[in-house]
Structure 1
Amino acid sequence: MLLPIIALASDTKDNSTLFGVFTLIPPLVAIVLAFITRNVIFSLFIGIFSGTYMISVSEKNVFISIYYAFVDMSSKMVGSLADSWNAGIVLQVLTIGGMIAVITKMGGPRAIAEKLAKKAKTPASAQLYTWIMGFFIFFDDYANSLVIGPIMKPVTDKLKIAREKLAFIIDATAAPIAGLALISTWVGYELSLIKDAYDSIGQPDINAFGIFVETLPYRFYNILMLAFVFFSAFTLREFGPMYKAAHRAHTKGHVTNPKTDSTLMNQENSFMLPKEGVTYSIYNAIVPIFVLIVVAIVGFYLNGVSALEGEILKAVESNPFSFYAVREAFGAADASVVIFEAALFSSLVAIIMGLKQKIFSLHEALETWVYGVKALVITAVILILAWSLSAVMKEVGTANYLVTLLSESTPQFILPTVIFILGSIISFSTGTSYGTMGILMPLTIPLANAVGIQTGLESVDLHNYIVLNVGAVLTGAIFGDHCSPISDTSILSSMASSCNHMDHISTQLYYAIFVGTVSILCGYLPAAFSVPVTILLPLGLLVIFLVIRFYGKPYLEK
């Protein structure tokens, strides 16, 4: 018997008392295995199984308990996917993946990139236009990396810009922008985690999309990293290993490190490339994405109004286009359904546009769309496992135990920083921000709620404090992802830029750690003391600029 025989109680608070420190086993197993195996799917799977075994342990024998644990784990996975909200999230993620594949096949994103690339005449403008492209391809970090790199590589090579810098700009504008975008392949996953975690503290009717929007000012790392790229490109100043790479490329003409072989990194996905002879049009990307955004906005309003009741509904009907009406409608909308519907409709628009232009046949269009869906199946798997782990931790009382253990001993001001650092460590070890969010979010919101209550925060301040910690989870995961040599987006950025992967990581790591440090000192630490974000963000931006201006060195010959 792996655990003492315990009669499972029906209430999670009682379970946390009965299991005691054993309630930490599911998340700890997932985290430790993530360090060891660097495989988030396997780690989450075993973490779930360890929890269901605790729940299923019987007086008979280990094998019977294992059987019941496996059955319970399977039922939790099915239950996670059977939930209407979760099913909508999975469908929207997969559908957006299909839409991205279709518009990429049509050459739309490439046309946008080429339009901007033609205007890049200097090293500064080439880097700035690469940075700007990241904002255009905001909906997916993978698409961002794969589209921008091959287009800008000839331009940056001509202007003697190091491939390491190109890979950094692409990587630094992929996940940070996708994480901030209101409509992307990330949003559904993040909304589901937020909603599920709030449900665990007795707030099942919380507006997850509203919480997501409120976290945006607290995404210090994302915002400051985007600013860092801009200031560095604008001033043409670098420091650390990136300065050596930039100086080498400009003075010797070696855009890649001659000591490393980057030929193996020069790969593109031929299936996603447009056919020869296809005329690239920016409208092949702009129209489907515009349709996605417009349909989603209209859908949020209509879906939300249909869910309103009583006096609120009467007030909205009396003045349907007021700020109050829009706010209440968006707050009541089911984001999982609306974004799925918008993504499905925009996919149909993209396919019709491609058929009309004879870019592909109907069979090829559907095959491409399905390929895009399959590319994001791994995301659906992580989603289901993360939801299941959350359900297991809720049943064994992990959050309740941590709340009891830490709410009285954890200083209020340090928790957001601890969450940010812990998220970065997990993400670094696993190479994925998705899995990190799935592990940390179910623990962070209950813990932040308890710490805030214990320190006597008023309801409004408590709400803002929880939002701050949610932002720390979402950005800490991206920070660790930027530092990790096994990060999927970092690998894609290296491939798309034809840059040796470890050259990319070694140069980017220095910058990521610097921006992460500023995010703590000018962000999460003072924000926990209720310093307004309107002060903290300008302060962080000023620090970033001053360091680049006075510590960074110009690498161009005068």
Structure 2
Amino acid sequence: MTEDLPILTLLPPIIAIGLVIATKKVLLSLGAGVLASALLVANFNPLETLRLVWTNFSVIFWEEGAVNTYYVYILLFTLALGVIASLILMSGGSQAFSDWAIQRIRTRRGAQALGAGLGIAIFIDDYFNALAVGQVARPVTDRHHVARAKLAYLIDSTSAPVAVLVPFSSWGASIIGIMAPLVAASTLSVSDVGAFLGAAGMNYYAIAAVLLVWVVVVLGLDFGPMRGQERRAIMEGETYDDSEEIPGEIAEDLPVHSPGAKRALVIPFLLLVAGVLGGIVWTGYRGAVTAEDHVAGSGVGVLDVMASTDVTQALIYGAVLGLASAFYYYVRYTSSNPRFSTSTLGRGVWSGLQSMLPAVYILLLAWMLGGLIGQLGTGEYLGGLVESANMAPQWLVPVMFVLAGAMAFSTGTSWGSFGILLPIAGDIMVNVSGGDELLLAAFGAVLAGAVWGDHCSPISDTTILSSTGASCNVITHVMTQLPYAISGAVIALIGYVVFAATGSGWLGFVAVLVGLVGVAVLGKTVLQRLEDEIPEEEQAKRSLS
């Protein structure tokens, strides 16, 4: 049927995108896209449709007579992160780190820098970032009269934007899993990690959002509704409006041991990162020296290692070390406390697993949809339309940024947006003349738009978690963050337009930096730093109160 009416190949992605915008139910929408794709590939044969759906699901776990470790390891790593988060919270590691930091941070700028710095340091997962950074930084920012809305902004703008740039994060691992078959179908000679890093370099919004955080912290650029929140915090000492509904504990009210130790947070994540980095080097070196084109006795370079690494296996190494150390500190600090029974441990583990299940479900359906869209030939059809319309493929890059942003804003999920759009973008680019060279830029634009829309959406899970971690009203967080998110998006869009006009990713990046400098200069010229509006002596008195 699709051979006679190739326009029908657009139907599954239209159904998925249309439903995701109309219903805001990502799983339902992805599932509908999977079913529609399978029906078209099978020419509406019901038995063949069921077979295709099952085949595309089962190959995620089992392929060619063996476990498909690539996808299975990504899922296991994602689930392990949820368990690690729960164990650290219950062992009191987050609270202990907060108590330690309060004694060492003396200024409002320092308190904000703590939130931003921790947000970047805890890059492994955006959900855990929102949990941990809020618990660690909130006592410090409250003491120095930093508005809860400002803390929520710092958390939200250093969670997903950082996680999406790092290959050994839950985002990175998942994105690599989606991108890998698309890159393999192109003519690019690049490893999975290399492809991810190339796309990260073109993720102008994430880069702009993280850099803008530091511009705001260092220069004190408070504009829009955020300025009113910060003025009240500084002048009146009220970091939030107590008449608003403030979110409480997230998910399950797990017990927290006291006193804890900061090492219960620091050591597990240092070991997790060390395990992943070590695993990347080890699997890369092992792969390089056993490659068919390797000359015995010759050296192995960094590029050889990165080209041969097995990042998903490395993620498991890190997850095992992080999980083992988190469990060790949990047992060490809670074994003598009668509140922490075996059932409490089980409740914490289950709570951690549950926190990651939505991401797992989205991943499974996104992988299935990507496989079926490839079989359907949607990309070939769209690529043919682009070529016949004489549309320069590089101009698809800014278009994809805007489209992904609109989808993520409407649905409240960046994962669902890039789960749908990455396969479409990849399929288009590999079927357009000259598109292979633009493939990574298109991936970067999709990821950038997804994070931007997610930042602006009041129904986004990361928006809700960030406001909860900061104990800030959700709508207050959305309205105060929106001007910063829009500023970052405009800067990113300028970068993509420059890229489309010149074909140079470096010039696009320079345009982003120029845009950030422009915001800094304009803000510094027009806005007075709020701390300068009160006498220095009074400010010091308030800081210590």
TM-score w.r.t. length of structure 1:
0.86
1:550 aligned onto 2:525: yes
Instruction: Name the aligned partner's letter for residue 490 of structure 1.
Output: T
**Could you list the per-position Cα deviations for residues 453-507 of structure 1 after superposition, in whole angstroms to 9, with x for gaps in the alignment?**
17xxxxxxx53x3222211111111000000010001011122222221111111
- Native 8 Å contact 1:86 1:192 kept in 2: yes
Superposed displacement of residue 358, structure 1? 4.8
Separation (CA, whole Å) in 2 of partners of 1:330 and 1:181: 14
* Paired position in structure 2 for 1:49: 35
Matched, 1:499 2:472: yes
Question: What is the aligned-residue identity percentage?
Answer: 27
Report the counterpart of residue 244 of structure 2 in structure 1.
261
Structure 1 residue 278 corresponds to structure 2 residue 259 = yes
Task: Verify: 1:294 aligned to 2:274, yes or no.
Answer: yes
Paired residues for 1:351-500 under 5 Å: 351-359=327-335, 365=345, 368-408=348-388, 409-451=390-432, 453=434, 462-463=436-437, 465-500=438-473
| Structural mapping, 1:10-409, within 5 Å | 15=2, 17-58=3-44, 65-66=45-46, 68-83=48-63, 84=68, 85-201=70-186, 206-257=190-241, 261-263=244-246, 265-268=247-250, 271-275=253-257, 277-281=258-262, 283-308=263-288, 309=290, 312-314=293-295, 317-320=297-300, 324=301, 326-359=302-335, 365=345, 368-408=348-388, 409=390
Residue identity matched to 1:347? L
In structure 2, how many angstroms separate the alpha carbons of the residues matched to 1:303 and 1:427?
Answer: 35
Code of the residue aligned with 2:386 in structure 1: it is: L
Between 1:306-315 and 1:327-336, the stretch displaced more is 306-315
Letter in 1 for 2:249: Q
User: Are the structure 2 counterparts of residues 28 and 150 from structure 1 closer, same or farther at C-alpha, using a change threshold of 3 Å?
Assistant: same
Deviation at 1:403, TM superposition (A): 1.0
Q: Is the 8 A contact 2:168 2:311 kept in 1?
A: no
Amino acid at match of 1:145: A
Query: Which consecutive residues of structure 1, in runs of 5 or more, have no partner in the other structure?
Result: 1-5, 7-14, 59-64, 455-461
CA distance in structure 1 between the partners assigned to 2:355 and 2:203 by the alignment: 27
Measured in 2, the distance between the counterparts of 1:162 and 1:349 equals 34
- Show the counterpart of 1:62: none
CA distance in 1, matches of 2:358, 2:107: 40
Query: For the Cα contact (< 8 Å) 1:31–1:426, is it kept in 2?
Result: yes
Q: Distance in 2 between matches of 1:355 and 1:155?
A: 28
Q: Which stretch of structure 1 is more off in the superposition, 547-556 or 420-429?
A: 547-556
Q: Label 1:185 to 1:270 Cα distance change in 2 as closer, same or farther (>3 A).
A: same
1:527 maps onto 2:527 in alignment: no
1:432 CA drift (Å): 0.8
Distance 2:414 2:106 in 1: 36
SS of alignment partner, residue 109 of structure 2:
helix
CA distance in 1, matches of 2:177, 2:305: 19
Instruction: Tell me the SS of whatever aligns to 2:86.
Output: helix
The answer (yes or no) to whether the contact 1:162–1:256 under 8 Å persists in 2 is: yes
Name the stretch that deviates more: 189-198 or 240-249.
240-249
- Root-mean-square deviation (Å): 2.6
| SS at 1:186 equivalent | helix
Quote how far apart the aligned CAs of 1:450 are: 4.2
1:446 Cα deviation from its structure 2 partner: 3.1
Give the deviation of 1:407 after TM superposition: 3.4
CA distance in 1, matches of 2:286, 2:140: 51
TM-score for the superposition, normalised by structure 2: 0.88
Deviation at 1:395, TM superposition (A): 1.5
Q: 1:113 and 1:133, CA in 2 relative to 1: closer, same or farther beyond 3 A?
A: farther
Distance 1:403 1:294 in 2: 42
Report the CA distance shift for 1:544/1:220 in structure 2 as closer, same or farther (over 3 A). Answer: farther
State the Cα distance separating 1:311 from its structure 2 match: 6.4
Q: Deviations over 1:38-76 (max 9, x none)?
A: 011110001111111223345xxxxxx456534432332
Change (3 A) 1:57 1:232: same
Inter-partner Cα distance in structure 2 for 1:201 and 1:268:
43
